[in-house]
């Protein structure tokens, strides 16, 4: 609970949550660890004999070292240690977010110096600066305001942005005048520039009797949530952060500006001029400048001079989304490859719902539309030009597996098709009715996307619908209850759109498609998202008869489970869910090993690739432990574990979005089953995911993932 100390002009630090260690070896009373010796496993119980030996248990904390020298000394470690705030490395990158592209930009700088990257997460700006000064990191990559006080401790890079600070309050009360703040409680992140700004504001307005408190959490949404709950009255945000957050939430107001506009930059130690010079050269060459015009309509030569390509798209399972912390999407990966080949940074401009991507393109808010856009004469007449096609699709009938298949037009007779009346599919269905087919055509709500309708069919809520074949392929890949049907003629072409006065960019895109279309890269990328490969579950059919050995890797799991305070049987249940005990398993997204850890995550955990069974298990448990630490320790033990598993599958951010949505829907944000899991399912619907920080998530995945692991774990306990 918040317990601020009220003061007239004194800045007071408070702590809202007491952290404590999670030291239980088993998370439920019914799963208490048995200290007795386990029985000897019968030779014929159907479980493979282990072929690996236990490994030495690695330290929980990754190796670290102190280095306060300049670039020459840093290079002796072959690593650039980059300090980042925990909250800024989250969220679906959208246009205007201040940390948009920071990760790739920083990795590019490290690569330019021949160094690998080690990411070090810090809880607040105070910790960031202290770690840098102590030599525990080399570079702060953050939305860091350049203030006189910080300039005495840090050397700042060239500005990458600029911002002024504003008071944020509840939606129903805008703090637009100093008097509005009288007797209010304002909370901000510990060590942020807001602390000094408010302290200065208090000296100017001592009669306001402000209460100011600091909290280690720097996530701006945390403070908006606390304003909504009444725990605090207001907070402070940079104007660009508030503007970005206003795209997702309408439950806060922007009030007084309390500082002038100031530079935003990265920082190194004061005694690191060599590192600073190299960083400034890199940022300048990358054209990362704080005054760049966001409205730009230049052709390809001008784009290359800016060194940035802006892709306009939708947050959707076909185009652009975040999964396990990785940016993904068919359109995103194809366009990213194009940008890399041209030596450009790719920025993503996510079109808000109801916004015309063509208008955004023509207004100069982006350079190319890449969003599974069908090439039509009507669209080209609006002042855009399409590339040659990079993908061919059909309209396709779909229904539930429990219903008769729609494998012919005659099979439509007596059925009900639900379609949005403003969609081209409605015209297709109307034409079929005119041809004499006897089915019911029902209008869907205009807020429902094609993905929403496909999901409703898969859940048995709708009889049937029509959708694009590539979307059907994506959803069928993850949903066994979906039954694809007849593909309708004619075939249609997907293309990328540019302004009709940008022939250079159009030529470059066509050359890229000519070079790669139906080649290895396009085929691999296509198969990754659309091909429905049936997994070979090598161990799935084996029946368990006792708990003496649950997997071929029990002797690796048990010591690590003890070290990280997990029930080993829960970990085995999760490992089965991830890989079916196959050490060579690889997911569509590139997750690897027995616990399906993403390569980037392995790198951040400092676990080398390729995985061995030992290192794959170690990486998975380390990541599960990290995910658990993201949740407040005040949660009930079992709920914290369910949230941890959901975060392991879908990412912490999506789970946090679901908890927030659950509370908005009158559900319990601290309970998974029956509450947050329902909200997670809602985040696959546009009306909800467009207001979520992490955007779209296929909610059935984490929901089924947690439920299946729980059921298998309980089955292990019954043994």
578 catalytic residue (yes or no): yes
What stretches of 204-243 adopt beta strand conformation (E)? 211-215, 235-238
Q: How many CB atoms lie within 10 A of CB 20?
A: 8
CA 719 – CA 704 distance, rounded (Å):
23
| 348 backbone dihedrals φ, ψ, rounded to 5° | -110, 125
CA 119 – CA 121 distance, rounded (Å):
6
Q: At what angle do helices 520-530 and 469-478 cross, to 10 degrees?
A: 60
CA 646 – CA 649 distance, rounded (Å):
5
Contacts (Cβ under 8 Å, ≥6 apart) of 607 = 597, 615, 618, 619, 622
3-state secondary structure of 197: helix
Measured in residues, the chain has a length of 719
Burial classification of residue 292, based on how many CB atoms lie within 10 Å of its CB (0-12 exposed, 13-18 middle, 19 or more buried): exposed
- Strands 161-163 and 262-269 come out as antiparallel
**Cα→Cα distances 3→14, 212, 633, Å:** 7, 11, 19
Contact 117, 77 (CB under 8 A): no
First-residue to last-residue Cα distance in the chain: 42
The CA-based angle 706-707-712, given to 5 degrees, is 100
**Cα→Cα distances 460→420, 449, 455, 456, 679, Å:** 18, 17, 9, 6, 19
CA 547 – CA 537 distance, rounded (Å):
21
Active-site residue, from 165, 395, 475, 578: 578
CA 222 – CA 216 distance, rounded (Å):
11
3-state secondary structure of 266: strand
CA 445 – CA 449 distance, rounded (Å):
9
Contacts (Cβ under 8 Å, ≥6 apart) of 15 = 215, 216
* Three-class secondary structure assignment of 559-607: HHHHHHCCCHHHHHHHHHHHHCCCCCCECCCCCECCCCECHHHHHHCCC
What's the order of all strands across the beta sheet hosting 252-257?
235-238, 165-170, 252-257
Active site residues per annotation: 578
């Amino acid at each position: 609970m918040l317990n601020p100390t009220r003061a007239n002009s004194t800045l007071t630090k408070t702590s809202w949550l007491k952290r404590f260690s999670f030291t239980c070896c088993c998370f439920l009373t019914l799963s208490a660890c048995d200290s007795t010796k386990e029985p000897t496993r019968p030779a014929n119980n159907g479980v493979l004999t282990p072929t690996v030996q236990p490994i030495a248990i690695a330290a929980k904390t990754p190796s670290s070292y102190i280095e306060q020298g300049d670039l020459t000394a840093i290079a002796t470690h072959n690593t650039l240690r980059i300090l980042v705030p925990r909250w800024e490395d989250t969220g679906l990158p959208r246009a205007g977010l201040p940390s948009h592209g920071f990760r790739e930009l920083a990795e590019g700088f490290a690569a330019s110096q021949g160094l690998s990257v080690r990411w070090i997460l810090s809880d607040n700006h105070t910790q960031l600066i202290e770690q840098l000064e102590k030599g525990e990191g080399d570079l702060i990559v953050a939305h860091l305001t350049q203030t006189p006080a910080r300039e005495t401790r840090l050397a700042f890079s060239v500005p990458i942005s600029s911002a002024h600070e504003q008071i944020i309050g509840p939606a129903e009360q805008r703090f637009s005048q100093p008097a509005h703040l009288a007797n209010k409680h304002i909370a901000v992140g510990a060590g942020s520039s807001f602390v000094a700004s408010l302290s200065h504001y208090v000296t100017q307005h001592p009669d306001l009797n402000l209460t100011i408190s600091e909290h280690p959490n720097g996530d701006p949404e945390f403070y908006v949530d606390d304003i909504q709950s009444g725990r605090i009255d207001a907070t402070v945000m940079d104007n660009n952060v508030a503007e970005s957050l206003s795209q997702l939430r309408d439950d806060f107001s922007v009030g007084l500006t309390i500082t002038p506009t100031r530079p935003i930059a990265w920082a190194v130690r004061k005694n690191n001029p060599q590192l600073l010079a190299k960083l400034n050269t890199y940022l300048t060459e990358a054209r990362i400048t704080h005054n760049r015009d966001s409205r730009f309509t230049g052709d390809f030569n001008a784009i290359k001079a800016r060194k940035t390509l802006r892709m306009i798209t939708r947050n959707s399972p076909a185009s652009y989304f975040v999964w396990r912390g990785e940016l993904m999407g068919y359109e995103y990966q194809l366009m990213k490859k194009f940008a890399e080949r041209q030596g450009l940074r790719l920025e993503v401009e996510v079109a808000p719902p109801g916004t015309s991507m063509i208008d955004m393109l023509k207004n100069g808010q982006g350079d190319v539309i890449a969003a599974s856009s069908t090439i039509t004469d009507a669209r080209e007449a609006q002042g855009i030009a399409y590339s040659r096609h990079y993908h061919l699709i059909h309209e396709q009938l779909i229904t539930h597996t429990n219903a008769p298949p729609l494998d012919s037009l005659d099979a439509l007779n007596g059925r009900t098709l639900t379609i949005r009346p403003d969609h081209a599919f409605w015209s297709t269905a109307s034409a079929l009715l005119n041809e004499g087919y006897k089915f019911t055509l029902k209008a869907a709500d205009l807020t429902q996307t094609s993905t929403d309708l496909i999901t409703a069919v898969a859940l048995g809520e709708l009889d049937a619908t029509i959708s694009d074949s590539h979307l059907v392929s994506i959803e069928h890949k993850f949903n066994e209850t979906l039954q694809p049907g007849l593909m309708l003629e004619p075939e249609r072409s997907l293309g990328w759109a540019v302004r009709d006065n940008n022939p250079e960019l159009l030529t470059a895109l066509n050359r890229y498609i000519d070079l790669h279309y139906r080649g290895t890269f396009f085929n691999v990328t296509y198969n990754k998202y659309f091909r429905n490969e049936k997994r070979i579950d090598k161990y799935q059919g084996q029946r368990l008869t006792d708990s003496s050995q649950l997997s071929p890797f029990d002797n690796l799991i048990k010591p690590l489970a003890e070290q990280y305070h997990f029930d080993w049987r829960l970990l085995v249940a999760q490992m089965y869910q991830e890989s079916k005990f196959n050490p060579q398993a690889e997911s569509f997204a590139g997750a690897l090993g027995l616990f399906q850890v993403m390569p980037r995550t392995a790198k951040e955990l400092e676990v080398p690739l390729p995985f061995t069974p030992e290192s794959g298990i170690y990486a998975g448990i380390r990541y599960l432990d990290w995910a658990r630490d993201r949740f407040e320790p005040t949660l009930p033990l079992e709920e914290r574990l369910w949230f941890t598993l959901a975060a392991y599958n879908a990412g912490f951010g999506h789970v946090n979005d679901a908890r927030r949505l659950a509370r908005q829907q009158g559900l319990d944000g601290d309970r998974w089953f029956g509450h947050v899991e329902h909200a997670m399912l809602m985040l696959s619907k546009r009306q909800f995911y467009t207001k979520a920080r992490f955007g779209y998530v296929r909610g059935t995945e984490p929901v089924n993932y947690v439920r299946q692991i729980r059921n298998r774990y309980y089955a292990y306990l019954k043994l």
